[in-house]
A = this chain, B = another copy of it.
Amino acid sequence: MRKACENPPKPTVERLPIYRRALEILLDEGCEYTSSCELAELAGVTASRLRKDLSFFGRFGTAGMGYPVRELLDAVNSILGTDRLRDVLLVGMGNLGRAIANHAPLRKCGFRIAAAVDVSPAKVGRVICGVRCYPPSETARLVREGGIEFALLTVPPGAAREAAERLAEAGIKAILNFTPVHLRLPRSVVVEEVDFGILLQKVAFAVTQGGGENA
């Protein structure tokens, strides 16, 4: 039954966005240099893990000095692609879709909601939360002409599968899936599930498990 499939080569790399966030805080505070200890503390990892992670991409520090904040942040931004603005397609302009369209912090990560797709005739053609709304039939055109690579899937559960397949056919590269539906798409499409219910179950279980000793 199926080998080690869902284990793509993520060699510690998904921690880079967290380092990036910590570096921005240090930059805002006016720090010019930081150490692997300080940065690791801010990011919530160990110092050696941080150094290993960074060393995977190059040498950014100076022995005896630490890391130059500005330069390291630039390097991380370059690696992550957050040094440029990238367009995102919002699929499903319901409550969650509107909340995300208004979610300011996405901008700071270099993402812009370029357009939205929704089945409701009442929404199509209008600009909602600063985003123009199109019918699902326009999906492929929007993706192609806009050069859009990423989609946020915020449709009702029953519409998730069809919408995701439409996105895959349109050539989208990655989907952030907010629906409680496990999508089965070609491996060329990166899918990340964000299921609020599963996340709540996870923390709830963690509480009942480790829930003996309190500080």
Which positions in A face B, CB cutoff 8 Å? 1-6, 8-10, 13-14, 16-18, 20-22, 37, 40-48, 79-82, 86, 88, 94-96, 98-100, 102-103, 105-106, 108-111, 149-150, 157, 173-176, 180, 182, 186-188, 190-192, 194-211, 213-215
* A50→B210 CA distance, assembly (Å): 23
Query: Given contacts A6-B44, A149-B204, A188-B215, could you give 20 more A-B pairs where the C-beta distance is less than 8 Å?
Result: A1-B37, A2-B46, A8-B210, A14-B205, A17-B202, A17-B205, A18-B198, A21-B180, A43-B182, A82-B201, A94-B99, A109-B198, A109-B201, A173-B207, A174-B204, A175-B203, A176-B196, A187-B215, A188-B214, A190-B210
Residues of B within 8 A of A200 (CB): 88, 106, 109, 111, 150, 176
Residues of B within 8 A of A20 (CB): 201
* A207→B174 CA distance, assembly (Å): 7
Query: When the two chains form their complex, are residues A199 and B194 in contact, meaning their CB atoms are under 8 A apart?
Result: yes
Residues of B within 8 A of A215 (CB): 186-188
Q: List 21 A-B contacts (CB under 8 A).
A: A2-B41, A2-B46, A2-B47, A4-B46, A8-B206, A9-B209, A18-B182, A20-B201, A96-B99, A96-B100, A105-B197, A110-B201, A149-B207, A150-B203, A150-B204, A150-B207, A173-B211, A176-B203, A187-B215, A190-B206, A194-B194
Contact of A192 with B197 at beta-carbon distance under 8 Å, contacts A44-B182, A81-B205, A102-B95 already known: no
Chain B nearest CB from A159 CB (Å) reads 13
Query: When the two chains form their complex, are residues A105 and B180 in contact, meaning their CB atoms are under 8 A apart?
Result: yes
* A195→B79 CA distance, assembly (Å): 19
Query: When the two chains form their complex, are residues B106 and A204 in contact, meaning their CB atoms are under 8 A apart?
Result: no
Contact of A190 with B203 at beta-carbon distance under 8 Å, contacts A109-B197, A196-B103 already known: yes
